[in-house]
Amino acid sequence: MIANFGYRPHQSILEKIDPRARWIFAFCMLFSIVLFWDLRILSVFFVITLIQFFVSKVTWQETKRAWIFILVLSSIMIFINTIITGVETVGGTIRGGTPLFSLKIPLFETFYVLTVERLWFALTQYLRIISIASLFIILPFTMDPRLYGVTFKGLGFPDKLAYTMDLAFRFIPTIARDFNVTLDAQRARGFEIDKGKMNIFQRIRRMAPLMVPVTMNSILAGEDIANAMDLRCFGLKKRSWIENLHFKTGDFVLIGFSILILVVSLYLRFGLNLGDFWMPGMS
Amino acid sequence: MQTPHSPLPLVVENLTFRYERRELPAIKNISFSIQPGQIILLAGSSGCGKTTLMRCINGLAPTIYKGEMSGKISVFGHDVTQLSLLQLSQHVGTLLQDPERQIVASHVLNEVAFGLENLGVPRLRILQRVDKTLEYLGIDHLKYKETFKLSGGEKQKVALAGVLVMEPKLLLLDEPLASLDPASAAEALKLFKRLAEDGISILLVEHRVEDVLAIEPDLIMFMEDGEITYQGDVKGFLEIADFSKVKLPAEIVAQRAKSIQFPQRTRSFEPDTSSELLRFENVSFQYRQDLPLTLKNINFSIHKGEITAILGHNGAGKTTLVKHALGLLKPTSGTVYLDGKDTRKMTIAEAAHTIGYVFQSPTQMLFAPTVEQELTFGPQNLGFSKEEIQKNVDWAIQTVHLEGEKQTPPLALSFGQQKRVSIASVLSMKSRILMMDEPTAGQDYWNYHSFMSSILDMPGYDAILFITHDLDLAIAYANRVILMANGQIIRDGAPEEVLKDISTLEKAHVLPTSLLSLNLKLLPKTKKFLRAELLANFI
C-alpha cells in the first residue's frame, strides 16, 4: 500500500538542483498561490507548477495514488463548501449572482440555487489545490531521501528536527512491511477489509485489527530506536553531516526567481489590491 | 596492548539496580571484571536481568531508565556515574538485539556515519573512518545500499559497523544471534572472535550457549533472577549448567540426562497417507515478472498425522511457500489444493477452515481488548454460530492453559503467554492443519521446549506444519522434513532420511549440529531422531 511511495533517480534537471533551492521555491510558490482568488493570476502559477511537474519526469503511474487521494479529498471539500453551501466563502464576493438552475427544497419552503459564480469559484479552488499539490507531490519522488536532514538543516531548522526527516524516510518501508504482515496475519483469521456495506465509523472500527498491532509494534520499536540513538550520542552536541550541499549558479537563479515571485505577488495583492475572485464578465 | 598497570576495561563491584517503579531490584550484587581482549558469555533465561546489567554498563540506566543503583562500575578506571553518555560512548559500544530496530539511516554509509556525525567529527574524517570500518568488517560492497533491503546478517554487520566506527574498546552484544539463521550466526560469531583478538573486550549476552562455545569464550557467567549463579570456565559450566534452561552440546546433555525420566507424549502422531489435507502441484511463483522465481516447481502433499518441518536458510522461499497453502499468495503456475479445492477458487476466509496460520511474532496480530475477544475474532469472521464460537473459545483457552487470563488484555501478557494467545486465536477457528512460522523465535531455551511440547500434546487438529531455520527444532519434533533451498524442495521425507546426508545439508546451507551428529551416531539403536535428553537412554 504505502510502500509504493518512494524515490528513484529520474535523471531530470530537477534532481541536479540543490534541494534547499527547491524547497525555497516550493514555499515561495505556496505563499504566493494562497494570496489569490483570481483565475487569471492563478493560471500563471498553474502553468509554472505544471512545467515543473513535466520537467521532473515523474510518471503518472508513480504518483497516481497521491493524486487520487488529493483529488478525491479536495472534490469532497469543494463540493460541500462551494456547490452546496459556500455562498460566503470569500467575503460575499459571489453572493447573489447568475442562477444556472434552481431546485425547490421541499420541507424548508426555500430554493437551492446553483449559480454560474459558484461553478467558477469551484474551478478556482481546484486550480489552487492542484497547483499546490503538484508542487509538493513530486518532492518525495525526486529527492534523494538521504538529503532531507541536511536540506532542512540548511534551511535553518535545528539538528534534532532536521534529522527527524531522515528518520521518517528510513522507517516508512518498515512500517509498510509491518502493515502487510499484519494484514496477512488477520486475513489468515478470516478478516476481510471490504465486507458488505458499512458507514464510515464501522469502517474505521473495522481497521482496529490492523491499526492496533502496527501502532503497538511501532511504539515498541520506538524504545529500541531511541536507545540506539542515545547510545550513539544523538542530540548531545552540535552534529556534523556527511551529506553536504553546495549552491551552484543555477540554484541561486531559482532562489532569486522564487523570491521575485513572492515579492511580486505580495505587491499585487497588498500594494495594488488585486487578486480577488474573478470570472469572465466581471470587471 | 595494555600494560599490566593500566586499568581494566570493565570492573563491576557489588552492583545492584532497582527500576524506579519496581519494588525488587532487577539485578543484585553483581561483581566481575573483563581483561583486554576477553570474551565473556553471559547466559540466562528471559527476564533474568541480562539487559538491565548491560544498561547499567552503557549508561542507559540510570540516565534514561531511572532507578536506584548501588555498587560500582568502572570502565577503564573511570567511574561510569561520573561519565556523560558522550564520554562513555568513547569506551563502550552496544549492539542491541534486533538490528532492524537500531538502524536509523536509510543507507549504509549514512548509518555507519551516524555516531560520528553526532560527535561533530568533521565530514572528511568521518568518511575515512567509515571506509576503514566497512573494510575491516568486509562489507565495503554494501556502502551505498539501502539498509531496508539488506539480509538479516548484513543488517547486523552494518549495525555493528555503526558501533565500531566510534572505536569502543569494550563491546556489549545483546543476544546478537537471536534474529539470525544458523549460517549467519556462525559468521557473526567468527567476527566477534576476531574483534577480541584485535584487543576489544566483549560481553556477549546470549542464551544460545552451544553456538557461542564454538568461539571459546574466556569466561561464562550464568544469571538467574538478577543474580550471577555461576562464574567460571566453560568446562565447569558444562558440568553444572541446567540443560533444560540453556542449550548445551547434545553429547553432554545425553550424558547428564541419564537419571532423568521424561513424561510421555499425551498425543501420538501417525501419518495416514490416505487422508490428504493439502497438495502442491507443480507450483511456481514469482512476485513480479521482472524478478526471478521465488518458488520453482513445488510438489508435495500434507496428510493427517504429519508433523512437517519445512527447513531451509533465510530466503529459501519457506514463507512464500506457506503463504500459498492459505491462498495469501496464488501460484504463478501450478495449483494448490486445500482439502481437494483449488485455492484460486476460494477466499482466504474459506481456506482458514482447513488451515490455521500462526505468524512469527504475536504482536503482529494481537489487537483485542481482552484475550476472550481476541479468540472470538477468527471464528466470528468465519461465520460460526454464537454457541459454536463460545464453545471453541473456551476450548482454545483451556488448551493453552490461559483460563485465568480471559479478561486480560493480550498485550499486557508476557511474550510466552502472548505466543500462546496467538496460537489459541488460531485454534479457536478449529482449522485442521496448524501452520506456524518459526514457532520458537524469541523464546529462551526452556520456553522453546515447553512451548513445542505443549503444542504437540494439544488435541483438535490433524496435522502440524512449521517453517524454521533451526535444524534441532526439526530433529526434536518433526516426523517429516521438507528441505528447501533457492525456491526448490531438495529433499522430502522422514527426518532420519533427509538429514543423514551432510552434503545435502550443505547444499541447503544448513549447518549440522551436535544434536544431529549424536542422533546419526545412535540411529542404529534409536531407529528415529530424538531430542538430546531422550538420547540418554541409548548411550
Q: Do A193 and A218 belong to one domain? A: yes
Paired with B220 in beta bridges are B41, B232
The pair phi, psi for residue B453, each rounded to 5°, is: -60, -40
pLDDT at A97: 67
pLDDT at B534: 87
Cβ separation of A240 and B367 shorter than 8 Å?
no
pLDDT at B180: 87
Contact B100, A218 (CB under 8 A): no
> What range defines the domain where residue B158 resides?
102-167
Please say which residue of B167, B198, B216 terminates a domain: B167
Single out the residue of A57, A53, A56, A61 nearest to residue A4, CA to CA.
A61
Element (H, E) at B110: helix B108-118
Please say which residue of A106, A123, A142 terminates a domain: A142
Report chain B residues whose CB lies below 8 A from the CB of A175.
none
Q: Do A212 and A242 belong to one domain? A: yes
pLDDT at A2: 40
Q: Do A112 and A149 belong to one domain? A: no
In Å, what is the CA distance from B46 to each residue of B55, B414, B421? 15, 10, 19
pLDDT at A122: 87
Residue B340 lies in a domain: yes
Residues of A numbered 181-210 whose beta carbons fall under 8 angstroms of chain B's beta carbons: which are they? 181-182, 184-192, 208-210
Question: Is 70 exceeded by the pLDDT of residue A151?
Answer: yes
Query: Per-residue pLDDT averaged across B321-346, rounded?
Result: 95
Q: Do B208 and B283 belong to one domain? A: no
pLDDT at B1: 46
pLDDT at B128: 97
Single out the residue of B422, B426, B300 nearest to residue B351, CA to CA.
B426
Q: Do B147 and B290 belong to one domain? A: no
Paired with B222 in beta bridges are B43, B230
Question: Taking CB atoms and an 8 Å cut-off, how many pairs form between chains A and B?
Answer: 167
pLDDT at B365: 93
Residues of B numbered 68-87 whose beta carbons fall under 8 angstroms of chain A's beta carbons: which are they? 84-86
Q: Do B405 and B452 belong to one domain? A: yes
- Interchain CB contact of B147 with A (< 8 Å): yes
Residue A60 lies in a domain: yes
Question: Is 80 exceeded by the pLDDT of residue B335?
Answer: yes
pLDDT interval class at A93 (50, 70, 90): very low
pLDDT at A206: 83
Question: Is 90 exceeded by the pLDDT of residue B231?
Answer: yes
Q: Do A84 and A163 belong to one domain? A: no
Residue B497 lies in a domain: yes
Q: Do B173 and B160 belong to one domain? A: no
Cβ separation of A170 and B411 shorter than 8 Å?
no
The pair phi, psi for residue A81, each rounded to 5°, is: -70, -35
pLDDT interval class at A77 (50, 70, 90): confident
pLDDT tens readout for residues B495-532: 999 999 889 998 888 889 999 999 999 999 998 999 88
- Interchain CB contact of A232 with B (< 8 Å): yes
Q: Do A161 and A128 belong to one domain? A: no
| E strand segments, chain A | 99-105, 110-115
| CA B33/CA B15 separation, integer angstroms | 12
Report chain B residues whose CB lies below 8 A from the CB of A181.
359, 364
Query: Per-residue pLDDT averaged across B300-304, rounded?
Result: 95
Number of independent structural domains in chain A: 2
Residue A259 lies in a domain: no
- Interchain CB contact of B98 with A (< 8 Å): yes
Report chain B residues whose CB lies below 8 A from the CB of A167.
104
> What range defines the domain where residue A168 resides?
144-251
Residue B530 lies in a domain: no
pLDDT tens readout for residues B35-66: 999 999 999 887 889 999 999 999 998 988 99
| CA B528/CA B176 separation, integer angstroms | 33
Q: Do A177 and A224 belong to one domain? A: yes
Q: Do A101 and A200 belong to one domain? A: no
Q: Do B326 and B405 belong to one domain? A: yes
pLDDT at A119: 84
Number of independent structural domains in chain B: 3
Question: Is 70 exceeded by the pLDDT of residue A87?
Answer: no
Residue count of chain A, please give it: 283
Question: Is 90 exceeded by the pLDDT of residue B17?
Answer: yes
Query: Per-residue pLDDT averaged across A204-229, rounded?
Result: 90
| Residue B13, C-alpha cell as written in the block | 563491584
Closest approach of A167 to chain B, Cα-based (Å): 6
Q: Do B324 and B391 belong to one domain? A: yes
Cβ separation of A236 and B86 shorter than 8 Å?
yes
| CA B434/CA B252 separation, integer angstroms | 33
pLDDT tens readout for residues B369-402: 999 999 999 999 999 999 999 999 999 998 888 8
pLDDT tens readout for residues B119-164: 999 999 999 999 999 999 999 999 999 999 899 899 999 999 999 9
Single out the residue of B438, B373, B421, B424 nearest to residue B395, CA to CA.
B424
Residue B524 lies in a domain: no
Please say which residue of A89, A117, A142 terminates a domain: A142
Report chain A residues whose CB lies below 8 A from the CB of B380.
190
| CA A39/CA A277 separation, integer angstroms | 7
Question: Is 70 exceeded by the pLDDT of residue A283?
Answer: no
Q: Do B131 and B223 belong to one domain? A: no
Sign of the dihedral defined by the CA atoms of residues B513, B519, B520, B521, in that order: positive
Average pLDDT, chain B: 92
Contact B87, B32 (CB under 8 A): no
pLDDT at B5: 66
pLDDT at A76: 87
| CA A163/CA B45 separation, integer angstroms | 37
pLDDT at A3: 41
Residue A274 lies in a domain: no
Sequential DSSP letters for A119-137: HHHHHHHHHHHHHHHHHHH
pLDDT tens readout for residues A94-126: 556 677 777 766 666 666 777 788 888 889 989
Q: Do A137 and A38 belong to one domain? A: yes
Q: What is the CA radius of gyration of chain A?
A: 24
